[in-house]
Amino acid sequence: MEKFTSLTGIAAPMPMINIDTDMIIPKQFLKTIKRSGLGVNLFDEMRYDDDRNEIAEFVLNKPAYRNAEILVAGDNFGCGSSREHAPWALLDFGIRVVVATSFADIFYNNCFKNGILPIVLPQEDVDKLMDDAQRGSNAVVTVDLESQTITGPDGGCIAFEVDAFRKHCLLNGLDDIGLSLEKSAQIDAFEVAAAQARPWV
């Protein structure tokens, strides 16, 4: 997994609540057996018309936001299915940070496994960033994971919370599986005890 330390980039506003995983990456693109190449279909049904032409008003089609690396959105971002294709599509497009008032549980987890930082902020802070993000190519925001801060175009600074273990993994680009395999002895011991206690499992 790619590390995440600090990022200065354009923030795109998506002032909608309940942006679900079917919007982020519709199911016809789940037929891949790869992780890469999904960026072109990110938000596919909002982004293209029936003839596959770009819909000019959609935020990521606007010249100012084509290279956005940060998304600012409303409540309950990523609700719906467990498809990791959603963070894969965001990542492939170039999004490394999503800011919202709340996230759906599985999506939130999936982000950390892919080097994306999901940030939960209170409504007033999201409103402020949404304003900042409306400034087109001037919507440049710095997200620093080490200090857990977001700095807006006016220099205003917002602090955010992140789980210490997840922060550690993101900062160092650590692979969860490698870390868990270091605990093989505990897993072995658990299995031995469980085979005694619940032999039917």
Partner 1 sequence: MTAAKTLYDKIWNAHLTDEAEDGTCLIYIDRHLVHEVTSPQAFEGLRMAGRTVRAPDKTIAVPDHNVPTTLDRVNGIDNVESRIQVEALDKNAKDFGIHYYPVSDVRQGIVHIVGPEQGWTLPGMTVVCGDSHTATHGAFGALAHGIGTSEVEHVLATQTLIQKKSKNMKVEITGKLRPGVTAKDITLTVIGKTGTAGGTGYVIEYCGEAIRNLSMEGRMTVCNMAIEGGARAGLIAPDETTYAYVKGRPHAPKGADWDKAMAWWETLFSDEDAHWDKVLTIAGEDIAPVVTWGTSPEDVLPITGTVPFPEDFAGGKVDAVRRSLDYMGLVPGTPLSQIAIDTVFIGSCTNGRIEDLRAAAEILKGKKIKDGLRAMVVPGSGLVRAQAEEEGLAEIFLDAGFEWRLAGCSMCLAMNPDQLSPGERCAATSNRNFEGRQGRGGRTHLLSPAMAAAAALTGHLTDVRDLN
Cβ distance to partner 1 smaller for residue 115 or 153: 115
> Quick check: 140 binds partner 1 (CB under 8 A)?
no
Token pair listed for 5: 């330390």
Closest listed residue to residue 114, CA positions, set 17, 39, 30: 39
Residues 186 and 184: their CA atoms lie apart, in Å, by 5
In the range 24-83, which residues lie near partner 1 by CB under 8 A?
Answer: 26-28, 30-35, 45, 50, 74-76, 79-83
Closest listed residue to residue 47, CA positions, set 60, 64, 36: 60
**Residue 158, H or E segment:** strand 157-159
Cβ distance to partner 1 smaller for residue 7 or 162: 162
DSSP state of 64: G
Phi and psi at residue 95, to the nearest 5°: -80, 125
Contact map string, positions 80 to 109, toward partner 1, x by CB under 8 A: xxxxx--x--------------xxxxx--x
> Quick check: 147 binds partner 1 (CB under 8 A)?
no
Segment near partner 1 (CB under 8 A); pick from 6-14, 59-67, 149-157, 187-195: 187-195
Cβ distance to partner 1 smaller for residue 65 or 77: 77
Segment near partner 1 (CB under 8 A); pick from 3-11, 51-59, 144-152, 183-191: 183-191
What contacts 162, CB < 8 A, 6 or more positions away? 117, 119, 145, 148
Cβ distance to partner 1 smaller for residue 67 or 165: 165
One-letter amino acid for residue 74 of the chain: G
Token pair listed for 47: 């982004």
* Interacting residue ranges for partner 1, rule: CB under 8 A: 15-18, 20, 22-23, 26-28, 30-35, 45, 50, 74-76, 79-84, 87, 102-106, 109-110, 113-114, 163-165, 176-177, 180-181, 183-184, 186-187, 190-191, 194, 197-201
